[in-house]
Amino acid sequence: METHVIGFPRIGARRELKKAVEAYWKGAADRSSLEDTGKRLMEYAWKTQKEAGLSLVTVGDFSYYDHILDMALALSLIPSRFRKEDYPHDLDLSFALARGDRERNIPALDMTKWFDTNYHYIVPELEDSSSIRLAEHTRIEEQVHLARSLGYRVKATLPGPLTFLSLARETGERPRWSFADEVGKAYATLLSRLAPHCEWIQMEEPILATDLSSPQKQAWASIYAQLSDHTERILVACYFGPVGENIELLLSSGVRGIHLDLTREGVEVLSRIPEDRVVSLGVIDGRNVWRTDLEAAARIVEPEVARRGEDKTMLSSSCSLLHVPIDLELETTLPDYIKEWLAFAVQKCRELSLLARHLTNGETGPEWESARKAAEARRRHPEVMIPRVRERVASVTGAQLARSLPFADRKALQQEKLGLPLFPTTTIGSFPQTPEIRKVRARFKRGEISREEYETYMEGEIERVIREQEALGLDVLVHGEPERNDMVEYFAELLPGYCTTTNGWVQSYGTRCVKPPIIYGDVHRSEPMTIRWITYAQSLTSRPVKGMLTGPVTMLKWSFVRDDIPARDVAFQIALALRDEVADLEAQGITVIQIDEPAIREGLPLRRTQWEEYLTWATDAFRLASSGAAPGTQIHTHMCYSDFEDIIEWIARLDADVISIEASRSDMQLLEAFHRFEYPNDIGPGVYDVHSPRIPGIEEMYRLLKKALEVIAPGQLWVNPDCGLKTRAWEEVRPSLTNMVEAARRLRKEYDGGK
């Protein structure tokens, strides 16, 4: 029986990739040293898979920035604003596409969420003038040759053509589907080049887990028809949800291999797959960190193995392991009892091969037994079920889900209190997390400096941020979040029911990583979490400083969440903890409170039929966290990293007084939604793309604001960046915000005589 994973994390167990790429960007390392690191990381991944006992290694999942971007390059899909000749090497071109080119003043490609995950891919652009053809050299071929030269049995992996085309953006008149033919040809050429060196070629087609339109289905048929010479070797991987009815489409392509995500789909679907096909059973969860209940997994797959035969079944992870940390062994501070419950990528590879050995020769042994015991211990642990917390969630009332007055009345009260000008300016929360700030935090964590020294340093940083904002002339200030390693992890460290890792890094985009905390028990608040910092910041200035919290849905989505109670209940537990924090902030005289919910959109189920259920509890959780606030308290929220057009009505239902929302990178595409739906509350569509080192000009931001004013009333419009500034440098932030404030002033002159 073949065993494989859909993909393995590429960042390295100690984030070697991040360090190498950032050194290259800074000019501190040359290309060959970067490529050496790349090779070592690929070799590490293959060796790990092989040593764990997997029969195939997966090749092509490595990328220096993003694998979708690499595929765009392989297909020669380079937007015309970039000129290939301007860059010494494809690597430099790909970094410029991803990050924008500051010297030449060329904006980056857009970046957005990969399905319902916290991973971001670079959005390929389809221009009227684009012509898709396979590049002479592709990174995937290089990787396959390297793996072959090291003697591995190779399964190559590629973003599937339908998924690729579906996720690209049309920038002109030409519809995406008109590219299907060229895409099919390019893939066919690539497949013939790869086929001699691979046992399998995996096409990752998670788009099959979504509702497909009829043009999409036609495109599928026409593209896969062009790949018919290679059907014997193709393994189409559907993951992140049930393939459902799309199984017919998948089967019609005639491909021999079919991978399904059995953590998100029942086994019934397997009976629809003819017995001449090879089925890859994705039973080890690639999206979570819980140790697999191997006995349960064996029960699921045994009948299928018996029916189809060992030579026609493969065992696999549900999806790529890109979404989980690499090695549990590197965790030194997790309590032992929790560590027993977990498996990271390396451990998941071992689970897979143990499961295969169990199925082929009945092996059980100590590992098998300890997996069973761990599952049982977890079920019975006292922190997992706290009656007081369960009761509070059970007794939530409808009244707790609504503010006491409607928006119009609140707005008048708030305006009286705050006295803000037309087109108020603000930022999203974080200011640059300088290397120095991180160093100080690292020293505090290592016990090298005292808590007092740490706090004094952070207060100094807050004061500096307040003075900077006053000098810039911003209207609603923030404290800058220097004390937060991450907006989710920070709160997770303070909330019982959560635990955090020391090295559990997962790639978020490019070189940016996060350490998703783990929700293992009932979550509740044991002490105030932000009061000390926010009240200090407010004491320094007469302008309002926003209290800054991370919302319940984001706290849940950006964590590894327990699988034993409904997500809704976990969200409500967190919401109640936040509700108490909001009350404390108010009691301390804070009049503006922002509750960030950037992850609401990515939590949306991939199938429309499930949207309503999710959006109902997600918006209720936000309202539970925020609605305890008095009507005169201004509640803000913030969203980014996704397309929000299709859920704008639900966003309105959050009933936040003000929302700041990402819009600049997609040139205010968001505003299309306002033609069909009049957004009722105040809103600041971002005018400054914080993911690029480029400094936006006054004129550019002014133009975006004018565009916004076509659908948003002047009294409703706020002026702010797309997201927080933590990844930027002060040298970029200062001029950018100066320009942003100036753009707002220009508008005020026009609409209000400059008041």
Ligand X SMILES: Nc1nc2c(c(=O)[nH]1)N[C@@H](CNc1ccc(C(=O)N[C@@H](CCC(=O)N[C@@H](CCC(=O)N[C@@H](CCC(=O)O)C(=O)O)C(=O)O)C(=O)O)cc1)CN2
Annotated binding-site residues for Zn(2+) read 638, 640, 662, 723
Instruction: Name the 3-class secondary structure at 383.
Output: helix
Is the Cβ of residue 281 or residue 506 nearer to ligand X in the bound state? 506
Which residue from 373, 353, 198 is spatially nearest to 293, judged by alpha carbons?
Answer: 373
- Residue 723 interacts with Zn ion (CB under 5 A)? yes
Is there a contact between 540 and 463 (Cβ–Cβ < 8 Å)?
yes
Q: Which of 207, 349, 487, 705 binds ligand X (CB under 6 A)?
A: 487
Instruction: Give the CA dihedral 126, 132, 135, 139, nearest 10 degrees.
Output: 50
- Residue 513 interacts with ligand X (CB under 6 A)? yes
Instruction: Tell me which residues in 521-550 interact with ligand MET (CB under 6 A).
Output: 548
Please tell me what DSSP assigns to residue 432.
-
Is the Cβ of residue 165 or residue 488 nearer to ligand X in the bound state? 488
Residue 744, binding choice from ligand X, Zn ion, ligand MET, none, Cβ under 5 to 8 Å by partner class: none
- Residue 726 interacts with ligand MET (CB under 6 A)? yes
Q: Is 691 part of the annotated catalytic residue set?
A: yes
Please tell me what DSSP assigns to residue 157.
E
The Cα–Cα gap between 725 and 593 comes to 18
- Distance of closest approach, residue 603 Cβ to Zn ion, in angstroms: 15
- Distance of closest approach, residue 296 Cβ to ligand MET, in angstroms: 36
- Residue 640 interacts with Zn ion (CB under 5 A)? yes
Annotated binding-site residues for L-homocysteine read 428-430, 481, 596
- Residue 724 interacts with ligand MET (CB under 6 A)? yes
- Residue 541 interacts with ligand X (CB under 6 A)? no
- Residue 118 interacts with ligand X (CB under 6 A)? yes
Q: Which of 1, 147, 420, 640 binds ligand MET (CB under 6 A)?
A: 640
The Cα–Cα gap between 411 and 681 comes to 9
Degrees (nearest 5) of the Cα angle 597, 636, 425? Answer: 120
Q: Which of 97, 123, 186, 488 binds ligand X (CB under 6 A)?
A: 488
Q: Which of 259, 557, 638, 691 binds ligand MET (CB under 6 A)?
A: 638
Instruction: Tell me which residues in 40-69 interact with ligand MET (CB under 6 A).
Output: none
Q: Which of 428, 499, 618, 744 binds ligand MET (CB under 6 A)?
A: 428
Beta bridge partners of 99: none
Is the Cβ of residue 123 or residue 488 nearer to ligand X in the bound state? 488
The Cα–Cα gap between 64 and 99 comes to 13
Return the residue matching tokens 């390396």.
346
- Distance of closest approach, residue 699 Cβ to ligand MET, in angstroms: 26
- Residue 585 interacts with ligand MET (CB under 6 A)? no
* Structure tokens belonging to residue 601: 């959109």
Is the Cβ of residue 304 or residue 597 nearer to Zn ion in the bound state? 597
Residue 548, binding choice from ligand X, ligand MET, Zn ion, none, Cβ under 5 to 8 Å by partner class: ligand MET
- Residue 238 interacts with ligand MET (CB under 6 A)? no
Residue 10, binding choice from ligand MET, ligand X, Zn ion, none, Cβ under 5 to 8 Å by partner class: none
- Distance of closest approach, residue 18 Cβ to ligand X, in angstroms: 6
Distances (CA, A) of 665 to 34, 126, 169, 662: 29, 16, 13, 8
Is the Cβ of residue 118 or residue 414 nearer to ligand X in the bound state? 118
Residue 488, binding choice from ligand MET, ligand X, Zn ion, none, Cβ under 5 to 8 Å by partner class: ligand X
End-to-end Cα separation, the chain, in angstroms: 74
Is the Cβ of residue 56 or residue 487 nearer to ligand MET in the bound state? 487
- Residue 723 interacts with ligand MET (CB under 6 A)? yes
b/e burial code for range 120-158 (CB count within 10 A of at least 16 → b): bbbbbbbbeebebebbeebbbbbbbebbeeeebbbbbbb
Q: Which of 189, 434, 541, 727 binds ligand X (CB under 6 A)?
A: 727
Which residue from 282, 289, 251 is spatially nearest to 267, judged by alpha carbons?
Answer: 282
* Structure tokens belonging to residue 274: 């003819």
- Residue 598 interacts with ligand MET (CB under 6 A)? yes
Neighbours of 388 (CB within 10 A): 8
* Structure tokens belonging to residue 387: 């009656």
The Cα–Cα gap between 71 and 285 comes to 26
DSSP assignment string, 470-511: HHHT-SBB--B-TT-SSTTHHHHHHSTTEE--SS--EEEETT
The percent of the chain in helix, strand and coil, each rounded to the nearest 5, is 50, 15, 40
Is there a contact between 319 and 6 (Cβ–Cβ < 8 Å)?
yes
Instruction: Tell me which residues in 414-473 interact with ligand X (CB under 6 A).
Output: 433, 438-439, 441-442
Which segment (13-21, 249-257, 428-436, 513-521) binds ligand MET by CB under 6 A?
428-436
Neighbours of 672 (CB within 10 A): 12
- Distance of closest approach, residue 516 Cβ to ligand X, in angstroms: 6
Is there a contact between 683 and 661 (Cβ–Cβ < 8 Å)?
yes
Residue 373, binding choice from ligand X, Zn ion, ligand MET, none, Cβ under 5 to 8 Å by partner class: none
**Count of residues engaged in binding ligand X, rule: CB under 6 A:** 18
* Structure tokens belonging to residue 359: 């199925």
Sequence-distant (6+) residues with CB within 8 A of 379 are 564
Is the Cβ of residue 109 or residue 513 nearer to ligand X in the bound state? 513
* Structure tokens belonging to residue 23: 């050194």
Distance of CA 40 to the CA centre of its chain: 26
Is there a contact between 235 and 278 (Cβ–Cβ < 8 Å)?
yes
Which residue from 288, 281, 180, 178 is spatially nearest to 238, judged by alpha carbons?
Answer: 281
Annotated active-site residue in 4, 230, 259, 691: 691
Annotated binding-site residues for 5-methyltetrahydropteroyltri-L-glutamate read 15-18, 113, 118, 512-513, 558, 602
Is there a contact between 507 and 515 (Cβ–Cβ < 8 Å)?
no
Instruction: Tell me which residues in 549-578 interact with ligand X (CB under 6 A).
Output: 558
Instruction: Tell me which residues in 637-656 interact with ligand X (CB under 6 A).
Output: 641
Q: Which of 280, 430, 500, 637 binds ligand MET (CB under 6 A)?
A: 430
The Cα–Cα gap between 384 and 736 comes to 47
Which segment (50-58, 238-246, 332-340, 510-518) binds ligand X by CB under 6 A?
510-518
- Residue 598 interacts with Zn ion (CB under 5 A)? yes
Q: Applying CB under 5 A, which residues contact Zn ion?
A: 598, 640, 723
Residues labelled as active-site residues = 691
Q: Applying CB under 6 A, which residues contact ligand X?
A: 118, 433, 438-439, 441-442, 485-488, 508, 512-514, 558, 641, 726-727
Q: Applying CB under 6 A, which residues contact ligand MET?
A: 428-430, 487, 548, 596, 598, 638, 640, 723-724, 726
